[in-house]
């Protein structure tokens, strides 16, 4: 009986209440949904309209603010509905609704500006602007947006900004001492941005450190470099203020600098070889004739007459450079062979001023084995050992060359017999 009376009283209380607030909520929701619907239609039409204009910045602005405006309409409508409901149920909540509305609007407007910064940054990079400069400006703009968002939020929450600034004056010294490396990297990034020794996409290397690769990104603390074995290398920016940095990406030409040696017996054609190589380089379509071009006899080597080639290619591309260098080297060989000469390689001639008599006597008794197409043939030397104390190691592969190289080309060959 008691439960029935309670249920009946609850129903009577519900029916007897004033439902005017419900119609206010319905009106607020209708206006909010209608505004959102019309904005979606207007957004699509605006996008179609701005794509037809010559100015491309209106496309960026409309695309950046389109989604945040949707959420701003919903946030305002939701706070309106909450305000109407709180007036009829809980008046204590009404003081929090304007604060929530203010905070949501600050965040949503900051989000719209953030999206605009991102799209402007991508737009400028796609149009060929310097990525390093654009990224620096974008990062500074994002920091400013965060500061302009945090300060009003703190003020809306009742936190005094002057107290924070006073604390920052004292705490800034402590933080600066504790984070000196972080600050050094930050100012190092500023130096990189200002001096611009390299930018994103450049190939850099340092003779002072084991640093070489392609720059992928330049942050406020570290610079990411992709090495040639595809590993990421993160270098603190403070390092770049104290080391030398080479930037091969900014080369105007690539250099070919090679030394070629011909045999001493080809000395009579050295002049013709040098002139032929110089004419070949002057007529080569990939060699920059506006740069230094040198072909000269350079030195008397231990086993060759050396001349050097010094010239520059028109291209700076690494792969194409090596193709051109290969072509130049092959044509140098053609010039050398065309003049009846050949390239030399290290040789050695061994002279014995004296030999013990026992070794000479044993040598006369050792058979000499020669290889013929029919197989090895063994025969003995029928000559007596010379009594001359100046014995020479001359018989190489059965050919007496009187202390000289066989054909001028013997390369560290072992003697087949001792005479």
pLDDT band at 395 (very low <50, low <70, confident <90, very high): very low
Q: What is the pLDDT averaged over residues 211-239?
A: 91
**Range with the lowest mean pLDDT among 12-21, 95-104, 304-313?**
12-21
Which residues are registered as beta bridge partners of 88?
Answer: none
* CA dist list (Å): 295 to 193, 278, 336: 43, 6, 13
Task: Evaluate whether the domain defined by 251-338 bears CATH number 3.40.50.150.
Answer: no
Beta strand pairing status for 375-379 and 211-218?
unpaired
pLDDT tens column, 98-146: 888 888 999 999 999 999 999 888 888 887 777 777 877 888 888 889 9
Mark 241-279 as b/e (b = at least 16 C-beta within 10 Å): eeeebbeeeeeebbebeeebbbbeebeebbebbbebbbe
Nearest-angstrom CA–CA distance, 307 and 287: 19
Nearest-angstrom CA–CA distance, 339 and 316: 33
pLDDT of residue 373: 43
* CA dist list (Å): 235 to 95, 178, 187, 202, 282: 51, 21, 14, 15, 44
pLDDT of residue 256: 96
Angle 270-282/318-338 helices, nearest 10 degrees?
140
Q: Which of 29, 69, 20 is nearest to 47 (CA)?
A: 69
Assign a CATH topology to domain 195-249: SH3 type barrels. (2.30.30)
pLDDT of residue 175: 60
Query: How many residues are there in the chain?
Result: 419
């Amino acid at each position: 009986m008691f439960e029935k009376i309670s249920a009946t009283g609850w129903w009577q209380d519900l029916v007897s209440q004033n439902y005017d607030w419900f119609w206010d909520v319905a009106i607020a929701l209708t206006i909010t949904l209608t505004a959102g619907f019309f904005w979606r239609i207007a957004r699509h039409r605006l996008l179609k309209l701005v794509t037809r204009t010559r100015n491309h910045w209106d496309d960026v602005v409309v695309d950046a603010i389109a989604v945040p405006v949707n959420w701003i309409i919903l946030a305002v409508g939701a706070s309106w509905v909450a305000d109407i409901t709180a007036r009829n149920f809980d008046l204590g909540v009404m003081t929090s609704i304007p604060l929530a509305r203010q905070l949501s609007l600050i965040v949503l407007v900051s989000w719209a500006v953030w999206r605009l910064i991102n799209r402007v940054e991508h737009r400028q990079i796609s149009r060929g602007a310097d990525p390093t400069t654009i990224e620096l400006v974008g990062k500074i703009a994002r920091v400013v947006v965060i500061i302009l968002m945090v300060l009003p939020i703190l003020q809306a929450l009742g936190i005094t900004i002057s107290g924070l600034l006073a604390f920052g004056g004292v705490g800034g010294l402590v933080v600066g001492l504790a984070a000196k490396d972080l600050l050094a990297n930050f100012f190092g990034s500023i130096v990189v941005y200002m001096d611009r020794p390299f930018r994103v996409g450049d190939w850099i290397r340092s003779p002072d450190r084991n640093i070489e690769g392609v720059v992928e990104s330049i942050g406020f603390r570290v610079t990411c470099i992709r090495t040639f074995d595809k590993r990421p290398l993160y270098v603190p920016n403070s390092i770049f203020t104290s080391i030398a940095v080479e930037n091969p990406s900014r080369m105007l030409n690539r250099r070919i600098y090679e030394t070629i040696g011909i045999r001493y017996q080809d000395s009579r054609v050295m002049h013709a070889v040098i002139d032929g190589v110089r004419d070949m380089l002057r007529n080569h379509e990939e060699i920059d004739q506006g740069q230094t071009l040198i072909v000269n006899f350079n030195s008397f080597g231990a086993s060759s007459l050396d001349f050097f080639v010094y010239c520059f290619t028109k291209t700076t591309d690494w792969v194409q450079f090596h193709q051109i260098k290969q072509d130049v080297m092959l044509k140098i060989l053609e010039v050398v062979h065309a003049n009846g000469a050949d390239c030399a390689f290290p040789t050695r001639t061994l002279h014995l001023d004296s030999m013990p008599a026992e070794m000479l006597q044993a040598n006369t008794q050792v058979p000499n084995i020669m290889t013929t197409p029919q197989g090895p043939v063994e025969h003995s030397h029928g000559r007596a050992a010379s009594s001359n104390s100046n014995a020479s190691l001359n018989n190489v592969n059965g050919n007496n060359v009187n202390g000289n190289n066989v054909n001028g080309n013997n390369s560290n060959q072992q003697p087949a017999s001792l005479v």
